[in-house]
Structure 1
Amino acid sequence: MSPLLQHLPHRHVLTLPATPPAVRVARETAEQALAEWGVNPGHRAVAPALLILSELVTNSVRHASPLSEQVTVTYAVGDDCLAFAVHDRHPHRPRLNGAGTGGRRRGGLATVMELTGELGGTAVVRGDDDGRGKSIWVTLPL
């Protein structure tokens, strides 16, 4: 288990087929889990977090699905932190700090990084031990 998750009392893991409906299901599951965990849906981090999550799942479905039949989303919340990860079994590890260059940010990862930065959060890519998959973890303050 990730050291981060050990400090976050609320956790949920969802594994879905890497198909377009996964984006909607992942987002709806996040909304439901956050509500059950008492996170105010009007909190300034919630709407951007849902957009970030949607972008990451969309990327997995679009780019990883030939090699990864499933996408797994991990949700976690603590008193002052919201974290989630999107995992697939495609070996490519995107460079998050290079999402858009030359002053022009492009695509879903650029949106992820821009929103994460604006909220004072972090985003990292963690590769699987066997090198054949990865998770993109996003942590946002609550």
Structure 2
Amino acid sequence: MASVPTARRIVRSKLREWGWESDGERARDVLLVLVELTTNAIRHASKPGDVVRVLVDETDGYCRIEVLDSRPDLPLLAVQADGDDEHGRGLLLVRSLAHAMGEELAATTKKVWVSVRIADVLARPRCL
């Protein structure tokens, strides 16, 4: 993905294609998680020229967002951010919206994934 806005536009379009309202509350949760994870990967886990990949799929009413970067260390979860802090709440916010969340490390890469509930009914699997 070239940028966070590009990733957001593509995923919003994919949600719409899958039949989810792209401006509904749960779709907004998916997009917020996407933006936070992608921004963190670009800002904290990559350098110029690195590739950050975003994968999104939907199965049985859950949307799974995966962000892969080239830094094999775990993301730091802020324990507490002060009221005036401009940073430090992103992963806390992601965790509050997530049904499930995890990280997978390899020798030179990391994948952070989050599953967000977007429907109360079972749906057929779809991939991006």
Cα separation, 2, equivalents of 1:38 and 1:70: 30
1:60 corresponds in structure 2 to 41
Does the 8 A contact of 2:66 with 2:112 survive in 1? yes
CA displacement at 1:140 relative to structure 2: 1.5
1:50 partner amino acid? L
Does the 8 A contact of 2:13 with 2:22 survive in 1? no
For structure 1, the 5+ residue unaligned runs are 1-15
TM-score by length of 2: 0.77
Cα separation, 2, equivalents of 1:84 and 1:125: 12
Spell out structure 1 runs of 4+ moving beyond 6 A: none
Cα separation, 2, equivalents of 1:111 and 1:81: 18
1:31 partner amino acid? R
TM-score by length of 1: 0.70
Identity of aligned residues (%): 29
2:94 corresponds in structure 1 to 112
Cα separation, 1, equivalents of 2:9 and 2:59: 20
Does the 8 A contact of 2:97 with 2:116 survive in 1? no
Measured on the aligned residues, the alpha-carbon RMSD in Å equals 1.9
Does the 8 A contact of 1:122 with 1:139 survive in 2? yes
1:139 corresponds in structure 2 to 115
Does the 8 A contact of 1:68 with 1:89 survive in 2? no
1:3 corresponds in structure 2 to none
Aligned length: 112
Cα separation, 2, equivalents of 1:82 and 1:112: 13
2:90 partner amino acid? G
